[in-house]
Amino acid sequence: MHKDRETSPPWSPAVSTECPVGVTQQAWIEASITWFVQEFGNDPMMRPIVLPQPDLRAAGYTGTPKQIEDVVAKTCELMEIDRSELTVELFDREDEDTPADGSRRAVGHYYVEDGRAVIGLDVTEASDAPYLIAVIAHELCHVRLLGEERITSKRKDHERLTDLLTVFFGFGVFSTNAALRFGETARGFSVQPLGDLDERTLNAARNDGYSRLGYLTEREFGYAMACYAWLREETAPPWAVHLDPGPRAFLRQGLAYLSRSAAPAEFPTRRSKGAPVSVRVAPKTHPAWLSGLHLMLDHTDWPPKAPGHHPT
């Protein structure tokens, strides 16, 4: 990873060095990734990123129940989830009546039954392996966050936090590319019954030419991927070619911004009074290694609604 810093930056003078997201979104993304490292350590982020080619599917994948189970099992392994403790439901809503505007349909859900985590997956388009992996990754991130009681469903940002965690665990290419699709049929994304955000909120943008999946925008995913690369000290991540053109441009802009505004492997988040907040992922050989990340901040009220465990 570090050898990437010796190469030319992946942007030209024509690439904007402004942050691709607003101040609030930037602070939330950076604070959330900071919290992820505190909760999960930095190992998940430092592992090889999961890519579409080759991805988790077996040769000759067509979306059969057995093949879906294999993908779920491999994803569980990468996310350090015990597959035997998880129930997976497959459902098919292809024949259901669609809403009047034809724009929304649930393709996944998460809930707990008798103390056991359950995720549901719509098999209607299961033959699209990268898309299915994006849904599986989102649902399993609910297991890591809600199921392990790191947060509760009362958090209004818990769905967005779940989307962002897919990036941290190396599934960002799938989630990012699935966020906006052109020229495809209407799709939706829903996690029920937990959460404040409903299906209408989730599928806020769609017309006959495109559909959306998830809770983060392309810009937010692009900057999240830039932060992911930056903490890995990848200024020219080779996996960027696997991103769709839109988010890839935001990734490049995000890296250009971070190279101007932050030291290597640090975030440039600033407090309202203008004093910088330095967030750094320390190497494993660091003599004071604890969680792999150090946050230098003299008070805890910034950024607003920063991630944290709020027990019921």
Burial 130-167 (b: 16+ CB within 10 A, else e): bbbbbbbbbbbbbbbbbbeebbebebebbbbbbbbbbb
* pLDDT at residue number 137: 96
Q: Is the pLDDT of residue 195 over 80?
A: no
**Domain ranges in the chain?**
2-296
Q: Is the pLDDT of residue 304 over 50?
A: no
Q: Closest Cα partner for 75 from 155, 162, 135, 157?
A: 135
Query: Which ranges in the chain belong to alpha helices (H)?
Result: 23-40, 43-46, 65-78, 129-142, 158-168, 172-178, 199-202, 218-231, 245-261
* pLDDT at residue number 118: 95
Give 4-55 pLDDT, tens digit per residue. Answer: 444 445 545 556 889 999 999 999 999 999 999 999 999 999 999 999 876 6
Q: Is the pLDDT of residue 250 over 70?
A: yes
Query: To 5 degrees, how large is the angle CA 263–CA 269–CA 274?
Result: 105
Contacts of 225 (CB under 8 A, 6+ apart): 167, 172, 176, 243, 247, 250, 251, 254
| Block residue for tokens 């129930």 | 87
For 296, other C-beta atoms within 10 Å of its C-beta total: 11
pTM of the model: 0.75
User: 38: left (phi > 0), else alpha (psi -120 to 50), else beta?
Assistant: alpha
157-173 average pLDDT score: 96
Burial 252-267 (b: 16+ CB within 10 A, else e): bbbbbbbbebbeebbb
- Report DSSP letters for 241-254, one per residue: GGS-HHHHHHHHHH
Q: Which two tokens stand for residue 104?
A: 């929304």
Q: Are strands 108-113 and 116-122 parallel, antiparallel or unpaired?
A: antiparallel
* pLDDT at residue number 280: 46
* pLDDT at residue number 53: 76
Q: Is the pLDDT of residue 182 over 70?
A: no
Give 65-84 pLDDT, tens digit per residue. Answer: 999 999 999 999 999 999 99
* pLDDT at residue number 58: 72
